[in-house]
Amino acid sequence: MTREQYILATQQNNLPRAENAQLYPVGIYGWRKRCLYFFVLLLLVTMIVNLAMTIWILKVMNFTVDGMGNLRVTEKGIRLEGISEFLLPLYVKEIHSRKDSPLVLQSDRNVTVNARNHMGQLTGQLTVGADAVEAQCKRFEVRGSEDGRVLFSADEDEITIGAEKLKVTGTEGAVFGHSVETPHIRAEPSQDLRLESPTRSLIMEAPRGVQVSAVAGDFKATCRKELHLQSTEGEIFLNADTIRLGNLPTGSFSTSSSSSSNSRQTVYELCVCPNGKLYLSPAGVGSTCQSSSNICLWS
């Protein structure tokens, strides 16, 4: 036996030993153990319920790798299929439908589309309601689908219609509250053109002249009282093969100058009163206007 082994053997034999040492149990016992088991069981039940709810939500919402329900996340953005309801404002950059289906925006009250600038100020608004469609902006334009030509534009100063033809199909026609400026007014083929003012006057003015032409028909001017043809500086020119003035008053000779009252008069002389009134006088060898000028006294 070596020296180190002898020293270790003698030290172990010299250690004091307790005769009646008390033993204490290690662990949780009694009501603490029961509470611990209860909380562990409650935690396990909660985890099972949460797992079941998570699976149910995934099943109901139709969660997949690409998205949830009708909502699909693609490389170009978000794709939404079917009918969708938005309870809060929707902020997007672009909305378009599928190539084979239209895009429908529906609301129980109205549909409002707002445009704002970088400061959040409202610059344009389009409201589709039950009674009217309202557009609020600085300038409203409608362009053609083929060439992009402006068909209709409106701003605070003027309204411009760029279509080749403006057609009004209402039974009452078009009503203008103020003046109308146009280079040409034309009716449809085989249709009449009628300009009418039911209770007031109808005035057509042009600084370089007003021309009314009927190429293949008659031109009629009818009034109830007086028809005035006035030229302040020029002349009134009547150019036709036949000019007729109907219902002109006819003057008569005095008794002393009448020769044959039984003969029927067929030729008359056109006479003019000092005030411009025209009348007929039976023609004679000479002028008979002076003899039958009594009609000028009643004009």
- If you average pLDDT over residues 181-196, what whole number do you get? 79
Residue at 274 is within a domain: no
Enter the tokens of residue 232: 């302040």
> Number of folded domains in the chain?
2
Q: Report the C-alpha gap between 46 and 270 in whole angstroms.
A: 121
pLDDT at position 253: 61
Enter the tokens of residue 231: 């030229």
Categorize the per-residue pLDDT at 12 as very low, low, confident or very high, splitting at 50, 70 and 90: low
- For 18-73, write each residue's pLDDT tens digit: 555 566 666 677 788 889 899 999 999 999 999 999 999 888 877 777 777 777 87
- pLDDT higher than 50, residue 255: no
Closest C-alpha among 106, 105, 88 to residue 97:
105
Residue at 191 is within a domain: no
Residue at 155 is within a domain: yes
Q: Which of 140, 163, 186 is the last residue of a domain?
A: 163
Give residue 36's Cα distance to chain centre: 73
Residue at 140 is within a domain: yes
- For 93-152, write each residue's pLDDT tens digit: 888 777 788 888 778 888 888 888 888 888 899 999 888 888 888 888 998 888 888 999
Indicate the helix (H) or strand (E) that contains 59: helix 31-60
AA identity, residue 233: E
Its domain, for residue 123, covers 110-163
Residue at 116 is within a domain: yes
Residue at 69 is within a domain: yes
Handedness of CA 162, 168, 174, 177 (dihedral sign): negative
